[in-house]
Structure 1
């Protein structure tokens, strides 16, 4: 299976640079994997595809304002630091640019000294382990000094940080948003609950690997990045009870899908717990729990479009993407959405 099999032509002007004023007004391409048909809707119409007894699974991770711009103590040289993984309370794995100016022992000052980082270790792949020192509450200082780590294809500045958060974001830890969830509003979620649909929460802290391209020719040689997940007992019960009663599991985004498929056993039962997942879903994978997938339009040759292709088939996926390009849908993080139905 070749990475190039998942390529498609995308005009640059279709890459959404800013979120819409009304989250739920984005377009929705509904793709029926049972009939190979599609329908053009708006996202708020998604409630018409949900019914009593179904379960909507959302990822309640919250994006950290993880991009910091500081100065190298002693020289004043500008250094960019992107927080990746919190190893301990004040110990972080980070990506540093330029890396050559971040040797072990170097100190970086942010916000005139409100936050200071010392490089403790250089690890495999060139990332750094740094330790922060500060007076006060780290999260408050980070919120003041940090910027949202928008993907590289978004070149416009985001004025409102909350627009890169879902309305149900709760647990901080992501370096990127679970973007399928950006389309939901509190009002739309209440309407969905009013239909008798259960809403379950899982947590997957999205890592920087989300943006990394597949660099190998053979898909099977790609190594996935690890991401931390949490599925609580109460939430697992909601999902399992809905499934057992004949309800469909609607997964919001590839992040929720990877979480669910990581924690579901061979009997189709979601097991609560926490840990790290490197699950790589590509065509040939048999889904254990997810029945319907809500997701944005993804980059060519990405692991995310491979996941979608595993869900409804590569041919139908590529046809749907061609249709979206033809109809000038908005692509990627701030773009429009798809609903893929299999039952």
Structure 2
């Protein structure tokens, strides 16, 4: 899906919301609400008013890694983006080069056998592309402890639309948990960034429940807009039961971010029942595949050519996505991980019919 609109260059959120003025915090972003082609403009602080008792929010607990590390390939300065750790101990990595403005630009991966020198004497050896026909991500073997390397020398991945480096804490969501093996996401599950402890407390007091899942996301398709690669995920039994109970009771299942959709839909059977599951998922949610258990989605605003838009279309339909993005451009919403967010909810009559079908 490609949107027939252009997002002006000045619509990128260049710094986090809390740095845009006094008295602001993470929740000081705008909230675009879609119900079919009906659009409303809110502040994120008004999110609890859009939800109701019995709704379940599916949240990703993956923490963000300091996944960008400086290195050298021969005499050339490079930046390695550590994306995903494989079962065999190798890492899917992306090689970038400094652009002179504090960020990076793409660089061809490899060649096979190339050795990248990293801090502390660690070496990365390029072995093969992750996907045939794509030179962006390569499998590399690392002689060293990567989680330790990232903690000591890494920084958050950032792209040229942001103004400056931020501390890693700026890229952690309120739902992030530490993992004993050092696992995490190469890039922030950013739809959850506007949540604060106060927002969570207001939602809980309203009777909204949270179903934690995990999906360790790799590097985003910020430039090439290719479909997502396979990623590690886990849906615990308790979260599966929460989702199933909400659907049986007429509540809505709203995923916080496309990563949460990918995880929970990977655990949903053809019978639309979610069961505890984990491992690797290569699921790509498209309009043809559709969604089995997700009724709504809170997500950031994506580029007009981004593959994530297929997921939005699967949940809301093409007309609803077109209408929402036209409004977002017209009303000066901000894009990317520090930007405004978009809440997609089902039309009330459509949700009632869906619930009736579930009980049949």
Q: Given the alignment of the two structures, is residue 7 of structure 1 paired with residue 4 of structure 2, yes or no?
A: yes
Q: Deviations over 1:261-314 (max 9, x none)?
A: 221112221111112222222334432111121111111121112221222221
Q: Deviations over 1:147-174 (max 9, x none)?
A: 1112x35342232211112111124321
Q: Tell me the matched-pair count.
A: 323
Contact 1:55 1:239 in 2 (8 A): yes
Q: Given the alignment of the two structures, is residue 149 of structure 1 paired with residue 157 of structure 2, yes or no?
A: yes
Distance 2:114 2:188 in 1: 32
Contact 1:59 1:202 in 2 (8 A): yes
2:44 maps to what in 1?
A: 43
2:30 maps to what in 1?
A: 27
Match runs of 1:91-170 below 5 Å: 91-97=90-96, 104=113, 106-110=115-119, 114-119=120-125, 121-123=127-129, 124=132, 125-126=134-135, 127-134=137-144, 138-150=146-158, 152-170=159-177
Q: Given the alignment of the two structures, is residue 68 of structure 1 paired with residue 69 of structure 2, yes or no?
A: yes
Distance 1:313 1:101 in 2: 40
Distance 2:304 2:234 in 1: 29
1:183 positional shift: 0.9
Distance 1:194 1:338 in 2: 23
Contact 1:7 1:301 in 2 (8 A): no
Distance 1:100 1:185 in 2: 39
1:220 maps to what in 2?
A: none
Normalised to the residue count of structure 2, the TM-score between the two structures is: 0.82
2:15 maps to what in 1?
A: 18
Residue 24 of structure 1 aligns to a residue in which SS? Answer: coil
Contact 2:156 2:167 in 1 (8 A): no
Q: Deviations over 1:119-177 (max 9, x none)?
A: 1523354444434345xx75344123111112x35342232211112111124321211
Match runs of 1:204-243 below 5 Å: 204-214=215-225, 224-243=228-247
Distance 2:300 2:308 in 1: 10
Which ranges of structure 2 fall in alignment gaps of 5 or more residues?
Answer: 19-24, 97-106, 352-360
Structure 2 CA distance for partners of 1:210 and 1:231, relative to 1, 3 Å: farther
2:199 maps to what in 1?
A: 188
Match runs of 1:169-184 below 5 Å: 169-170=176-177, 171=179, 172-184=183-195
Residue 66 of structure 2 aligns to a residue in which SS? Answer: coil
Residue 8 of structure 1 aligns to a residue in which SS? Answer: coil
- Higher mean displacement: 332-341 or 156-165: 156-165
RMSD between superposed Cα atoms in Å = 2.3
Residue 281 of structure 1 aligns to a residue in which SS? Answer: coil
Residue 122 of structure 2 aligns to a residue in which SS? Answer: strand
Contact 1:66 1:82 in 2 (8 A): yes
Normalised to the residue count of structure 1, the TM-score between the two structures is: 0.86
Match 1:337 to one of 338, 341, 357: 341
